[in-house]
C-alpha cells in the first residue's frame, strides 16, 4: 500500500497516513493538483500557514523504466498566485517512490520563524531535526554538510532565496553525484518551503521498491519504450540531446527568428553560435578534465541531456548549462560568454533561484538601467545582490514582474507574473498560446508546441501561422498533464510523437504499475481533467480571463526579423478552455 | 550564379567544407539550384536533413535558392 507522509510544521509533528481512496492510482502532477484543489484554500497566502507544499513522484518513478526519475512539487505559487506544479528529475524522486511514499506534504507554519529544520525520512516515517547551523547556507554547502551528517541520502532543500521568501526561489535537489543542480525551479515554491522553516529533506536510499500490479506487462512496455528512445535521432545515444544537450536549440530558434534577444526586442541573436550546444560540446572536449556531455539528472535515463561545464583549466564549474538557462542568462542579456553564463547558473544553483526567472528579471533590470545589456560582470553582481538580501536584491529576487514595477519598465515579458521562457510568442504562435493560457503562468513545458512548430517532431505546423494554434496548444497541454503525472521526463515525448510502439510501451509501463488499462484516449481525457482542476483552483484564487493575456507590448511592437506582433485574439485564446 | 551563405548544425557540421567548427561559409550555386541540389553539392545525405531555414523561414527541399540567401541546415534536434 502506498502511504503519505504529512508534516505539520505548526505542531512540529510528522505522521504517516493512508491516502484516501480518491487518490488511488494518482501520481505526479495529477496528485499534486488534485490535492491542492481538495486541501488548499485558494484564498490563502502562498507564504502563510494555510498553503501546503506537496511532493509526489510519478506513476512509474522508482522503477527501472527509462528516464522516469521525475518528481512534482505543488502548492499555491508565490509568484503567480495560482496553482503550481514544478517538475524535476533527480534521484530524490526515485528514493521517495521506492520507500513507498505516494506523497510528502509540508503544512502549517512554525511558531519560531528563525528556526530551521531538516526533515529526515525513511520507510518508517520521518522526524524533524532542528538545524540552526544550516540557516542562510547556500545549497552547495547544505548538501555537503547533510551528506557528512547523514551519509548516502538523497536531498532536497531551499537556498537563502527561499529562506528570504523570494518569489524567484526554486526547490533544489541533488543529482546522482550530489551536485546541487536539479530544480523544481518555476513559480517560487522554494519560498513556500522557506516559509515553513524546512531547510532540507533527507531521504534514505534503501527503499524496497515500487509495487507493481503486472510486472510482465511493465517489462514488455519498458522494452518498447527503451527501443523507441534508442532509435529516435533526437533521444538516442549519440543523438542530438545526448551529444549537444538541450542548448542544441539555440541555433535553430535563432534561425527561426524565435530566440528572444535583449529582453524580447528581437528574435535573433547574432552571437548565438558562441553559446550554442555545439560550442558547449566543443569546449567541453577541448578543455578536458571534469567536464562532460551526456550527463544524466537521475539514474536510468537513456537520453542523458545534461552536462557538466568545466572551467578553462578543466576543473568543474557547474552542472548544467541547459537551453533555458543558456538563453535567459545569455541571449536574453546579450551575453555571449559561456563562462559568465556558467557562473550565473552556479550562483542560481547556490542561492536557490529559478534560472529562467533570474534571466528574465535581469533582462528587465537591464531595460530599467541597472546595467547595460551585455555587461556580464554587472549581471553577476546583481545576482549576488539577491543573496545579500539587500532591498535591491529582494526586488530582483521577487522576479521580473516586481522588478519591472520597481523600475517603471513596461516591456515586461510575463504572464500571470511568471517570466517567459526561451521562445518568442510573436515568432512561434503556438507556444505563445501555451504561455498565455497555461494554468501555470508563462511556461513552455506546459504545452510544448515547439515540437511541430520548429522541430518537425510529431507533424509540422508553420510557427508564424496563427491558425489552429489554440487547438494545438490545448492537445499538447492535456497530453503534458498526463506525462507530468507519469513520472516520465517530458523529453521522451519527442520519441513517442514519432513512434506508435514507443507510445504503447509508455502506456504499458503505466498500466503495469497501476493495474489500469489506459489507452491513448485516456491520456487526453485525464490530461484535460487535470487542466480543469487547476483552472478551477485558479478561478477560486481570483485569476480570471484577464490573466490569460499577453503583455501589451507583444501586441504593439513588431518583432524582428519577421516584423510580426502576436495576432491571436483574446476571444480565440479564451476558446482554449472550451472543452 | 547566385551567392549564398550556408551553415550546418549539430551532427551535420561534419559536412562543413571548412571543418566542423568553421561556422557560416559563402558559396556560389548555379542559378535555379534547389536545396536538394545544395545538399548534393555539400555531400550531405538528404535523409540526414530534417529542417532547413532560409532567411529565418522554414523551407522545403524543392525551394529554389536566391541571391543573398542565408541557409541553415539541421538534422533532427530537440530540447526544452
Ligand atoms: S532527458 Fe535529461 S532531463 Fe530528462 S530524465 Fe534524462 S537527463 Fe533528465
Contacts of A524 (CB under 8 A, 6+ apart): A475, A478, A479, A482
| Positive or negative: CA dihedral B77, A293, A264, A356 | positive
Check if B66 contacts A (Cβ < 8 Å): no
**List of residues 6+ apart from A218 with CB closer than 8 A:** A63, A65, A212, A508, A509, A512, A513
Peptide bond into A462 cis (omega under 30): no
Cβ–Cβ contact A257 with B under 8 A: yes
Q: Tell me the torsion sign for CA atoms A216, A25, A61, A239.
A: positive
Q: How far apart are CA A287 and CA A306, in angstroms?
A: 17
Question: B78 and A457: CB-CB below 8 Å?
Answer: yes
Cell 551532427, residue?
B11
Q: Tell me A206's DSSP state.
A: -
Q: Is B76 on the interface with A (CB under 8 A)?
A: yes
Any domain includes B80: no
Report the distance separating Cα A64 and Cα A488, nearest Å. Answer: 11
Cβ contact, residue pair B80, A324, below 8 Å: yes
Chain A closest-CA separation from residue B9 CA (Å): 8
Q: Using an 8 Å Cβ cutoff, are A327 and A422 in contact?
A: yes
The answer to whether the complex's ipTM is over 0.95 is yes
Query: Is B59 among the domain residues?
Result: yes
CA distance A165 to A193: 9
Reference A233, options A221, A224, A223, A244; nearest CA is A244
Instruction: Give the pLDDT confidence score for residue A206 in this predicted structure.
Output: 84
Answer yes or no: are the C-beta atoms of A550 and A415 closer than 8 Å: yes
Largest CA distance in chain A: 61
What is the rounded average pLDDT for all residues in chain B? 97
Stretch A4-9: mean pLDDT: 98
Look at residues A545, A507, A513, A552 and name the one whose alpha carbon lies nearest to residue A526.
Answer: A507
Task: Report residues whose beta carbon is within 6 angstroms of any ligand 1 atom.
Answer: A 67, 89, 296-298, 301, 303-306, 489, 491
Q: Which domain holds residue B15?
A: 2-74
A127 backbone dihedrals φ, ψ, rounded to 5°: -140, 150
The rounded distance, in Å, linking the Cα atoms of A346 and A177 is: 16
Q: Would B54 be classed as within a structural domain?
A: yes
Question: Could you give the CA distance from residue A106 to residue A25 in angstroms, rounded to a whole number?
Answer: 21
C-alpha cell at A22: 480518491
| Chain A residue at shortest CA distance from B14 | A278
Whether A244 contacts chain B with CB within 8 A: yes
**Residue A563 pLDDT exceeds 80:** yes
Task: Note whether residue B28 is domain-resident.
Answer: yes
Residues of B in contact with A276 (CB under 8 A): 9
Q: According to the 3-state scheme, what is the secondary structure of B40-73?
A: HHHCCCHHHCCEEEECCEECCCCCECCCCCEEEE
B contacts of A451 (beta carbons < 8 Å): 78
Whole-number Å distance between alpha carbons of A431 and A321: 22
CA distances A52 to A8, A36, A225, A531, Å, are 10, 8, 35, 20
pLDDT in tens, A109-119: 999 999 999 99
B79 inside 8 A of chain A by CB: yes
Residue B63 belongs to domain with CATH number: 3.10.20.30
Q: Report pLDDT digits (tens) over A182-218.
A: 999 999 999 999 999 999 999 999 899 999 999 999 9
pLDDT value, residue A117: 98
Which residues are CB-contacts of A328 (< 8 A; sequence separation ≥ 6)?
A: A355, A356, A358, A359, A360, A362, A363, A419, A421, A422
**Would the pLDDT of A1 be above 80?**
no
Residue range B24-49, pLDDT digits in tens? 999 999 999 999 999 999 999 999 99
Contact A249 B51 (CB under 8 A): no
Contacts of B55 in chain A (CB under 8 A): 561
Q: Answer whether A233 sits within 8 Å of B23, measured CB to CB.
A: no
Q: CA-to-CA distance for A496 and A511, rounded, in angstroms?
A: 17
Kindly report the nearest CA distance between residue B26 and chain A, in angstroms.
17
* Residue showing cell 533521444: A235
Touching check for B77 and chain A: CB below 8 Å? yes
Separation of CA A177 and ligand 1 centre (Å): 15
User: Do residue B78 and residue A278 have CB atoms under 8 angstroms apart?
Assistant: no
Write out chain B residues lying below 8 Å of A235, CB-based. Answer: 78
pLDDT in tens, B55-80: 999 999 999 999 999 999 999 999 98
| Residues A248, B77: C-beta atoms closer than 8 Å | yes
What per-residue confidence (pLDDT) applies to A132? 98
Do A92 and A174 meet the contact criterion of CB atoms below 8 Å apart?
A: yes
Q: Tell me the pLDDT of chain A averaged across its residues.
A: 97
Mean pLDDT of A271-285: 98
Check if B41 contacts A (Cβ < 8 Å).
no
Task: Please tell me the distance in Å from B80's CA to the nearest CA on chain A.
Answer: 6
State how many domains chain B has. Answer: 1
Q: What does the alpha-carbon distance between residue A475 and residue A44 come to, in Å, rounded to a whole number?
A: 31
Going across the sheet that includes A13-17, the strands are A13-17, A3-8, A101-107, A53-57, A70-76, A83-89
Domains and CATH numbers, chain A: 3-204 (3.60.9.10), 250-422 (1.10.569.10)
SS3 A363: helix
Q: What would the grid cell of residue A75 be?
A: 502548492
Ligand 1 atom at minimal distance to the Cα of residue A302: 6
Query: Could you tell me which residues come within 8 angstroms of residue A435 by beta carbon, excluding any fewer than 6 positions away?
Result: A415, A420, A421, A425, A441, A442, A443, A444, A550
Place of cell 527503451: A226
- Does A275 touch chain B if contact means CB atoms closer than 8 Å? no
C-alpha cell belonging to residue A578: 472550451
The answer, for A252 touching chain B at a CB cutoff of 8 Å, is yes
Q: How confident is the model at residue A51 (pLDDT cuts 50, 70, 90)?
A: very high
Q: How far apart are CA A148 and CA A131, in angstroms?
A: 14
Strand ranges (E), A311-450: 316-318, 414-415, 418-419
| pLDDT tens by residue, A119-130 | 999 999 999 999
Give the strand pairing for A171-174 and A117-122: unpaired
The residues in A 449-508 lying below 8 A from B, measured between CB atoms, are 450-451, 454-457, 462-464, 490-491, 494
Q: Which residues of B touch A273 (CB under 8 A)?
A: 23
Whole-number Å distance between alpha carbons of A557 and A512 = 51
In the block, cell 512561434 appears at A428
Q: Which atom of ligand 1 is nearest to the CA of A296?
A: 7
Residue B79 lies in a domain: no
- With beta carbons less than 8 A apart as the criterion, state whether B72 and B9 touch: yes
Atom of ligand 1 at shortest distance to CA of A492? 1
B15 inside domain: yes
Residue B49 lies in a domain: yes
A312 with A339: CB under 8 angstroms? yes
Helix axes A355-367, A376-388, angle to 10 degrees: 110
E strands, A257-388, in order: 292-295, 306-310, 316-318
Amino acid at each position: 500500500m502506498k502511504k503519505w507522509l504529512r508534516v505539520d510544521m505548526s505542531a512540529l509533528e510528522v505522521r504517516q497516513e493512508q491516502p484516501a481512496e480518491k487518490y488511488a492510482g494518482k501520481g505526479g502532477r495529477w496528485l499534486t493538483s488534485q490535492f491542492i484543489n481538495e486541501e488548499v484554500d485558494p484564498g490563502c497566502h502562498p507564504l502563510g500557514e494555510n498553503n501546503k507544499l506537496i511532493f509526489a513522484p510519478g506513476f512509474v518513478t522508482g522503477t527501472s523504466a527509462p528516464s522516469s526519475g521525475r518528481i512534482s512539487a505543488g502548492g499555491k505559487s508565490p509568484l503567480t498566485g495560482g496553482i503550481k506544479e514544478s517538475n524535476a528529475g533527480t534521484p530524490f524522486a526515485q528514493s521517495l517512490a521506492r520507500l513507498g511514499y505516494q506523497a510528502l506534504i509540508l503544512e502549517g507554519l512554525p511558531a519560531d520563524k528563525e528556526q530551521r529544520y531538516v526533515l529526515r525520512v525513511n520507510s518508517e516515517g520521518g522526524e524533524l531535526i532542528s538545524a540552526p547551523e544550516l540557516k542562510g547556507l547556500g545549497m552547495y554547502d547544505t548538501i555537503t554538510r547533510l551528506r557528512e551528517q547523514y551519509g548516502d541520502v538523497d536531498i532536497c532543500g531551499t537556498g537563502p532565496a527561499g529562506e528570504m521568501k523570494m518569489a524567484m526561489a526554486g526547490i533544489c535537489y541533488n543529482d546522482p553525484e550530489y551536485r546541487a543542480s536539479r530544480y523544481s525551479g518555476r513559480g517560487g515554491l522554494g519560498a513556500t518551503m522557506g516559509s515553513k522553516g524546512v531547510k532540507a529533506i533527507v531521504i534514505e536510499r534503501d527503499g524496497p521498491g515500487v509495487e507493481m500490479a503486472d510486472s510482465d506487462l511493465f517489462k514488455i512496455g519498458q522494452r518498447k519504450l527503451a527501443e523507441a528512445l534508442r532509435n529516435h535521432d533526437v533521444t538516442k545515444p549519440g543523438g542530438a540531446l545526448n551529444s549537444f544537450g538541450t542548448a542544441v536549440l539555440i541555433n535553430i530558434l535563432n534561425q527561426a527568428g524565435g530566440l528572444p534577444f535583449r529582453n524580447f526586442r528581437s528574435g535573433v541573436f547574432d552571437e548565438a553560435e558562441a553559446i550554442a550546444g555545439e560550442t558547449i560540446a566543443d569546449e567541453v572536449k577541448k578543455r578536458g578534465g571534469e567536464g562532460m556531455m551526456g550527463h544524466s539528472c537521475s539514474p536510468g535515463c537513456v537520453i542523458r541531456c545534461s552536462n557538466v561545464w568545466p572551467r578553462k583549466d578543466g576543473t568543474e564549474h557547474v552542472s548544467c548549462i541547459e537551453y533555458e538557462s543558456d538563453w535567459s542568462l545569455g541571449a536574453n542579456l546579450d551575453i555571449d560568454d559561456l563562462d559568465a553564463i556558467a557562473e550565473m547558473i552556479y550562483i542560481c544553483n547556490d542561492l536557490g533561484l529559478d534560472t529562467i526567472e533570474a534571466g528574465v528579471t535581469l533582462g528587465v533590470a537591464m531595460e530599467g538601467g541597472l546595467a547595460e545589456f551585455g555587461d556580464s560582470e554587472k549581471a553577476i553582481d546583481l545576482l549576488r545582490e539577491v543573496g545579500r538580501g539587500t532591498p535591491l536584491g529582494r526586488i530582483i529576487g521577487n522576479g521580473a514582474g516586481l522588478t519591472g514595477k520597481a523600475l517603471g519598465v513596461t516591456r515586461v515579458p510575463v504572464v500571470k507574473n511568471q517570466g517567459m521562457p526561451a521562445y518568442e510568442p510573436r515568432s512561434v504562435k503556438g507556444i505563445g498560446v501555451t504561455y498565455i493560457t497555461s494554468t501555470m503562468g508563462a511556461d513552455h513545458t506546459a504545452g510544448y508546441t515547439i515540437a511541430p512548430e520548429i522541430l518537425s517532431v510529431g507533424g509540422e505546423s508553420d510557427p508564424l501561422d496563427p491558425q489552429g494554434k489554440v487547438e494545438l496548444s490545448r492537445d499538447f497541454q492535456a497530453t503534458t498533464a498526463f506525462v507530468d503525472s507519469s513520472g516520465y521526463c517530458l523529453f521522451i515525448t519527442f520519441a513517442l510523437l514519432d513512434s506508435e510502439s514507443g507510445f504503447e510501451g509508455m502506456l504499458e509501463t503505466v498500466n503495469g504499475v497501476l493495474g489500469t488499462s489506459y489507452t491513448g484516449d485516456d491520456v487526453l481525457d485525464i490530461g484535460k481533467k487535470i487542466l480543469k482542476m487547476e483552472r478551477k483552483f485558479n478561478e477560486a484564487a481570483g485569476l480570471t480571463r484577464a490573466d490569460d493575456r499577453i503583455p501589451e507590448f507583444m501586441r504593439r511592437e513588431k518583432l524582428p526579423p519577421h516584423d510580426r506582433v502576436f495576432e491571436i485574439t483574446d476571444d480565440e485564446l479564451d476558446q482554449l478552455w472550451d472543452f | 550564379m547566385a551567392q549564398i551563405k550556408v551553415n550546418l548544425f549539430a551532427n551535420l557540421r561534419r559536412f562543413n567544407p571548412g571543418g566542423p567548427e568553421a561556422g557560416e561559409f559563402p558559396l556560389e550555386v548555379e542559378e535555379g539550384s534547389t536545396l536538394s541540389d545544395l545538399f548534393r553539392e555539400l555531400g550531405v545525405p538528404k535523409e540526414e536533413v530534417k529542417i532547413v531555414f532560409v532567411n529565418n523561414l522554414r523551407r522545403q527541399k524543392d525551394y529554389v535558392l536566391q541571391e543573398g540567401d542565408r541557409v541553415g541546415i539541421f538534422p533532427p534536434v530537440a530540447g526544452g
